[in-house]
Structure 1
Amino acid sequence: MRILFLGDVMGRAGRRAITERLSPLKARLKADFTIVNGENASGGMGLTGAHARLILDAGADCITLGDHAFDQKDMMQFIESEPRVLRPLNFAREAPGRGARVFADARGRKVLVTQVLGQVFMKRPFDDPFSAVDAVLRAHPPGGMVQAAVLDMHAEATSEKMAMGHWCDGRASLVVGTHTHVPTADAQVLPRGTAYLSDAGMCGDYDSVIGMDKAEPLRRFLTGMPRDRFTPAEGEATISGVLVVTDDRTGMATSVAPLRDGGRLAQANPQG
């Protein structure tokens, strides 16, 4: 199975890139199943129901969220009626929606998608991500209950993401980090067959400070004082993510490759 995972969609620029380029990108890559992290798609903070529909209509099979999952209040109702949108697994139990679900690709092959939030350097404590993921993976072993299993690890600390990758090695098809908006260069297949990448990067304008227009972040760093709100940068977005190929029999990865399509990062890496 060919699984495409795209990092955090950032504001209008990211939405525009997804709506205009996702469908031809999927065709070019021959992707069987596509997951998009959409938690910053609406003004850089959260996701509205309308923007979720836009991403799904563009070709995403599943949308994952993150620590900004419910910054846009209508998502609390929308997520209950749209099973293709997942919030973090280790949110409070009373939170609406679900943190894991089994989907099917066009050929009927089953794909488990789940997401957890890290605990290190995050603004508020969440439940233990390791025990939460362990329970889900035990119930859905790749090559058994499902043909593939994907975990979106939404976290600040690279060490915590790496630890999760090794914790899941041999039990998930792909462990991919999101949240920091900066793509990493450590795509690899771990010893027991799990594809891993510390951060997929963002689908947004990289002529920015992690997706935000440069002026206000620079002012705050230089003066220590805020003046305006952060606003997403609106130049041409780079679609950033990863493509993993899995063995349907075992559910393990046979290859993994980072993706950079369009925008500044693709210009810097024309072979990507």
Structure 2
Amino acid sequence: MKVLFIGDIVGRRARNYAQEKIIELKTKLKLDAIIVNVENSAGGFGVTPSICDDFFRVGADVLTTGNHIWDKREIISYITKNDRLLRPLNMIEGTPGLGMTIVDLDAGKIGVANIMTNLFMQKTDNVFDKIPDILENLKLKKNVDFSLIDIHGEASSEKMALGNALDGKVTAVVGTHTHVPTADYQILENGTAYITDVGMSGDYNSIIGMNKKDALNRFLFPQNKKSRLEVSNGEPTLCGVIIESEIGGLSKSIKPLRIGGKLEQTNLE
């Protein structure tokens, strides 16, 4: 299978650009599935039901999120009825929605899990304790043909540890949250595709997608730390990775995809 994962969508311009490109790339790259992290797509904070519907309409198959999933309260009723919008699996018991799903596509069954790390993040259950649950439900060659884990987290060491804990047992482990694309995309020793952070889809003439002046003032003047951040409205770059799996479900390749804006890479072969 050939799957595109798109990193954190930040704001209106980025989501409009991503939706336009999803339609184009699905055909151009002969993609079997598209997964998108949408947790910052509504003004930089959270996601709404209408935004989710728009992404599904243009061809996204599964939407993942992270620590901003509940910033727009109207998403609570939506996520309880939709098994293709995920919240982190290790949120406390009783949290609405699902952290893991399986979608039956023309090319086969794809399983997606969304988890959040513990270091420097909001309080969640121990992320490593969820590994047995993921492996039981998203078992390659038995339950799914392709499995991807979106690890939403701050610390690169924790993401790397999770990647290696899952190596050889899932198709891909991709990191989100820092909004900074890393250059360590690789196939791990036992066949799992890995990248520490896919990067955001947003304006890179910014501070992690936010207006530079607003964000910088928070550091220069700590007394203004609670001042409102606004999404930077420059030209967005779509950041993602394309993962191809072999028969059996492990990966044969992972390639970064960056189009538009300052980070564009035009080689899509």
User: Smaller-chain TM-score range?
Assistant: over 0.9
SS for the counterpart of 1:196 is: strand
Aligned twin of 2:141: 143
- Mark the runs of 5 or more structure 1 residues left unpaired by the alignment: none
1:1-272 to 2 correspondences below 5 Å = 1-107=1-107, 109-122=108-121, 124-226=122-224, 228-247=227-246, 249-266=247-264, 269-271=265-267
User: For structure 1, which segment, 85-94 or 134-143, has the greater mean C-alpha deviation from structure 2 after superposition?
Assistant: 134-143
Letter in 2 for 1:262: G
Q: For the Cα contact (< 8 Å) 1:13–1:233, is it kept in 2?
A: no
Deviations 1:77-131 (A, max 9, x none): 0011222101110011211111001112223x01110010000111x32101112
Rounded Cα–Cα distance in structure 2 between residues aligned with 1:198 and 1:42? 24
Q: TM-score, normalised by structure 1?
A: 0.95
Determine the C-alpha separation between the residues in 2 that align with 1:152 and 1:223: 34
RMSD of equivalent CA atoms? 1.3
Q: Is the 8 A contact 2:218 2:227 kept in 1?
A: no
Number of paired residues? 267
- Give ranges in structure 2 of 5+ residues lacking alignment: none
Cα distance in 1 for partners of 2:138, 2:223 equals: 49
Q: For residue 271 of structure 1, report the CA deviation from its aligned partner.
A: 4.3
3-state DSSP class of the match of 1:120? Answer: coil
TM-score by structure 2 length? 0.96
Contact 2:115–2:150 under 8 Å retained in 1 = yes
**Aligned to 1:81, what secondary structure does the other structure show?**
coil
CA distance in 2, matches of 1:223, 1:54: 39
Secondary structure of the corresponding residue to residue 135 of structure 1: helix
Q: CA–CA distance in 2 between the matches of 1:28 and 1:198?
A: 26
SS in 1 for 2:80: helix
C-alpha distance in 2 between matches for 1:175 and 1:250: 16
- Give distance in 1, aligned partners of 2:198 and 2:132: 22
- Deviation by residue 1:19-73 (Cα, 9 ceiling, x = unmatched): 2221102222211011000000011111111111111112210100111111110
**What SS does structure 1 have at the residue aligned with 2:208?**
coil
Alpha-carbon distance between aligned partners in 2 of 1:85 and 1:28, rounded to the nearest angstrom: 25
> % of aligned pairs identical?
40
